[in-house]
Amino acid sequence: MMNLHQPVILTDKIPIGISLCCMGGPVRYNAKGFDMLANLGREKLDFVWCPVCPECMAGMGIPRDPVHLSNGTGDDVWEGKAEVKDRHGRLVTQKMIEGCKACMEALKRCNARVFVYMDGSPSCGVYRTTLKSTIRGNPPGTFGSLLLKEGYFLIPASDLQSPLKWWDWRRRMLAFLWLSDLPITSMQELYDVWYRLKFLCQELDNSWAREMGRTLAALQKTDFSAFEPKFRAEVLELLRRPSTTAKMTNSLWKHYSHYRKSRGKSVEEINSPDFRRGVTKIAEELLKMERTAVEDEYLFGASPVIYRDQRRLKPKIGAGDELEMET
Ligand code: SF4
């Protein structure tokens, strides 16, 4: 068991599904696409991308008439209560259902449990199915509905354009995948998981985290089997919820202050919450604290699960299975 006071380091590349038009594929109805991964730079290579386009897999071709949901949401389409129609009113419901199923099969073959979706699409949209300014349409879209039912960790592609929002999604996604896969077989292991994740949970929802802390303190060993699934489900649900700039800035300062005090070291250019700066600068500071924490084997509670390419890690001589960063 690794030291609880260190971050968890994942070394397997994470497969992520993505709406193909968000990866630059010219597959929209008008033969256009957007490269929404451009801002990730080299970090893009830390993941295995699995692009899919339900409308293309429906066999609708490019260019094509735009489609829309008629008489209900994407959920209703799957229940046979609503239809998908093109601009001329032609029914394409059955084709869309087949296209969505084919895309889901591809995501499963790729082992993707995360999906970056194009919001505002009647197919891939999750919270909007139209791009018209204040109108949400009939969410979710047909494929968005399937992604929700399958429990995907869903990231809106537009949030990849902000370094701070992406930082927030990435750390929650890594914690989500780690916890999803982790076998928890005893109360002690459950307490250890909580120790690792509680700081992030406190940042996301302090009242919920305090209540969970009180519940855990009152539990008996015999409560483990009944409580573990509830604990896991609630933490996973919380990890889907975005944080805010103010919360992330406060959290950075709180953890950095603790790091300075406990390790007697400082990190240049990490600022207090009162210091006014833009979101790009805040994201840089968070990344710096994250890197420092990994190099110094310190648990930065705001980002407790980290991905590092195996090639950037080398075995620490004589230290069992622990890993050390290459300098
Ligand atoms: S169906 Fe999805 S991937 Fe295909 S063009 Fe529309 S939003 Fe993009």
Residue 176 in tokens? 């989500």
Q: Specify the number of domains making up the chain.
A: 2
Whether 3 is in a domain gets the answer no
Q: How far is the CA of 105 from the centre of ligand 1 (A)?
A: 16
Indicate if 197 and 305 belong to the same structural domain: yes
Are residues 17 and 92 both part of a single domain?
A: yes
Is 128 part of a structural domain of the chain? Answer: yes
Q: Which atom of ligand 1 is nearest to the CA of 51?
A: 3
Q: Is there a single domain that holds both residue 192 and residue 293? A: yes
Bridge partner residues of 8 (DSSP):
305
Ligand 1 pocket, residue 64 CB under 6 Å: no
Domain identity same for 102 and 218: no
Domain that holds residue 15: 8-161
Q: Check whether residue 19 and residue 151 sit in a common domain.
A: yes
Nearest protein Cα to ligand 1, atom 8 = 21
| Residues 164, 170, 172: CA angle, nearest 5 degrees | 105
Binning the chain into helix, strand and coil, the percentages to the nearest 5 are 50, 15, 40
Q: Is residue 322, in this structure, part of any structural domain at all?
A: no
Q: Do residues 67 and 97 share a domain?
A: yes
Sequence-distant (≥ 6) Cβ neighbours of residue 37 within 8 angstroms: 18, 22, 23, 24, 44, 49, 160
DSSP 45-59: GGEEEEEE-HHHHTT
Residues 43 and 134 in one domain: yes
Q: Does residue 130 share a domain with residue 186?
A: no
Is the overall model pTM greater than 0.85, yes or no? yes
Ligand 1 center to 153 CA (angstroms): 18
Q: Are 55 and 33 in contact, with CB atoms under 8 Å apart?
A: no
Do 190 and 299 belong together in one domain? yes
pLDDT tens track, the chain, 327 positions: 458 888 999 999 999 999 999 999 999 999 999 999 999 999 999 999 999 999 999 999 999 999 999 999 999 999 999 999 999 999 999 999 999 999 999 999 999 999 999 999 999 999 999 887 777 889 999 999 999 999 999 999 999 999 999 999 999 999 999 999 999 999 999 999 999 999 999 999 999 999 999 999 999 989 999 999 999 999 999 999 999 999 999 999 999 999 999 999 999 889 999 999 999 999 999 999 999 999 999 999 999 999 998 777 655 533 334 444 333
Beta bridge partner(s), residue 325: 313
| Whether residue 222 sits in one domain with residue 102 | no
Q: Are residues 147 and 12 in the same domain?
A: yes
Cis omega (within 30 of 0) on the bond before 63? yes
Q: Relative to the CA of 29, which ligand 1 atom is closest?
A: 5
